[in-house]
C-alpha cells in the first residue's frame, strides 16, 4: 500500500519520524540533498514534501540553515476537523448527536451574504446537540442552503456523522471553511441543553463551509461547553492562517 505520490511518501515519512521522537523539538532535519538521495527523488520533490510540513507548522525553515522541528504533535486533516464524529473516533471517543429542531425559513440578511443566496430565499435551520461519551459538549445552530436542505432533512434524527451521510447520499464534499472564534455567555437555550448555568462562558465558532467549487453549503453557530474542547492553531512568519479581527 505504498503511496503513489512521491512527495507525500517523503512527507509522511518525515511526519512519522517527528512524531516518533526521532527528531525532537529543536532538532535539525536532514538537508534537501540528503533526503533526495535517501528517497531517490529530485530536490523539487523533496521541497514539495517539506513545504507541507511547513504549512502544518511542524517545522521552521530559514535560508541557509537546516530546517528545525518546532512541534511534535501531529495536526488534523480538514475532514477530521469538519466532522465531529470522525474527530471523536480518531480520539478514541464515541460521538452522539440529536436533532432538537428543524424547519424551513427565509434567509436573514447576513445569512444570505454568507450562503451567497438572495435575501429571503428559503433555507433550512437545524438545531443539533452533540455529545461526547454521552456528555453534551456542543450546540450547533446550522443554516443550510436550499439546494442541499432536502438531503439534510432526509437524514435520521440521531445521525452520527452528517458529513459522512451527505457524502454517501449525494456525493457532496465539504472542502473549505472559514471559522470565527470568540466567547459568549450561555443563553437560556444553551444553558438548558448543555446542562450549565445561564451566563456561563461558551466558546463560539461561527463557520461557513463551501464545496470544492466554492459554493457555500452551510453556515453555523457552534457553541462549545468549556473544558471539553480546545482549538489549536500553529503559525509562523512563513505561513499565517490565523487572523485577529475587530468584532
Partner DNA sequence: GCCCGCCACCTGTATGGACAAGCTCGATTC
Partner DNA sequence: GAATCGAGCTTGTCCATACAGGTGGCGGGC
Residue 32's binding partner, choosing from DNA, its own copies, none, with beta-carbon cut-off 5 to 8 A by kind?
A: DNA
Backbone angles phi and psi of 85, in degrees to 5: -65, -45
**What x/- string results for residues 217 through 246 when contact with its own copies is judged by CB under 8 A?**
-------x-xxxxxxxxxxxxxxxxxxxxx
Q: Which residues contact 100 (CB under 8 A, 6 or more apart)?
A: 127, 128, 129, 193
| 118 lines the binding site for its own copies (CB under 8 A) | no
CA–CA separation, 229 and 225 (whole Å): 8
Q: What is the DSSP secondary structure assignment for residue 34, as one 8-state letter?
A: H
Choices 25-33, 75-83, 97-105, 225-233 (CB under 7 A): range interacting with DNA: 25-33
Residue 8's binding partner, choosing from its own copies, DNA, none, with beta-carbon cut-off 5 to 8 A by kind?
A: DNA
By CB under 7 A, the residues from 41 to 100 that bind DNA are 41-45, 47-48, 61-67
End-to-end CA distance of the chain: 48
The residue among 77 and 150 lying less far from its own copies, judged by its C-beta, is 77
By CB under 7 A, the residues from 177 to 236 that bind DNA are 213
By CB under 8 A, the residues from 28 to 87 that bind its own copies are 51, 55-57, 60, 62, 65, 68-71, 75-79, 81, 87
Q: Which residues contact 45 (CB under 8 A, 6 or more apart)?
A: 6, 7, 10, 36, 39
Residue 100's binding partner, choosing from its own copies, DNA, none, with beta-carbon cut-off 5 to 8 A by kind?
A: none
By CB under 8 A, the residues from 132 to 171 that bind its own copies are none
Binder of its own copies out of 8, 21, 25, 31 (CB under 8 A):
25
- Which pairs from 85-90 meet CB under 8 Å and 24+ separation? 85/160, 85/161, 85/163, 85/164, 86/161, 86/163, 86/164, 88/132
The residue among 48 and 102 lying less far from its own copies, judged by its C-beta, is 48
Q: Which residues of 157-168 are buried (b: 16+ CB within 10 A; e: fewer)?
A: eebbbbbebbee
The residue among 169 and 182 lying less far from its own copies, judged by its C-beta, is 182
Binder of its own copies out of 34, 173, 192, 195 (CB under 8 A):
173
Choices 8-16, 101-109, 146-154, 173-181 (CB under 8 A): range interacting with its own copies: 173-181
The residue among 62 and 157 lying less far from its own copies, judged by its C-beta, is 62
CA–CA separation, 213 and 4 (whole Å): 25
State the angle between helix axes of 43-55 and 6-19 in degrees (0 to 180), rounded to the nearest 10. 50
Grid cell 443566496 is found at 117
Residues that bind DNA (CB under 7 A): 4-8, 29, 31-34, 40-45, 47-48, 61-67, 213
Amino acid at each position: 500500500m505504498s503511496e503513489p505520490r512521491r512527495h507525500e511518501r517523503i512527507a509522511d515519512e518525515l511526519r512519522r519520524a517527528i512524531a516518533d521522537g526521532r527528531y525532537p523539538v529543536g532538532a535539525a532535519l536532514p538537508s534537501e540533498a540528503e533526503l533526495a538521495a535517501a528517497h531517490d527523488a529530485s530536490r523539487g520533490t523533496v521541497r514539495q514534501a517539506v513545504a507541507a510540513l511547513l504549512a502544518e507548522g511542524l517545522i521552521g525553515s530559514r535560508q541557509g540553515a537546516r530546517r528545525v522541528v518546532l512541534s511534535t504533535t501531529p495536526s488534523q486533516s480538514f475532514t477530521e476537523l469538519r466532522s465531529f464524529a470522525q474527530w471523536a473516533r480518531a480520539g478514541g471517543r464515541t460521538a452522539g448527536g440529536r436533532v432538537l429542531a428543524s424547519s424551513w425559513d427565509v434567509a436573514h440578511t447576513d445569512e444570505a451574504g454568507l450562503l451567497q443566496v438572495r435575501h429571503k430565499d428559503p433555507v433550512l435551520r437545524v438545531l443539533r446537540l452533540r455529545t461526547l461519551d454521552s456528555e453534551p459538549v456542543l450546540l450547533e445552530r446550522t443554516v443550510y442552503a436550499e439546494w442541499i436542505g432536502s438531503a439534510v432533512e432526509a437524514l435520521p434524527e440521531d445521525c452520527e456523522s452528517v458529513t459522512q451521510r451527505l457524502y454517501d447520499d449525494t456525493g457532496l464534499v465539504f472542502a473549505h471553511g472559514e471559522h470565527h472564534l470568540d466567547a459568549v455567555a450561555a443563553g437560556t437555550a444553551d444553558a438548558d441543553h448543555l446542562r450549565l448555568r445561564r451566563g456561563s462562558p461558551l466558546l463560539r465558532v461561527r463557520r461557513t463551509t463551501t464545496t470544492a467549487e466554492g459554493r457555500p453549503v452551510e453556515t453555523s453557530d457552534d457553541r462549545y461547553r468549556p473544558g471539553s474542547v480546545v482549538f489549536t492553531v500553529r503559525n509562523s512568519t512563513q505561513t499565517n492562517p490565523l487572523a485577529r479581527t475587530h468584532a
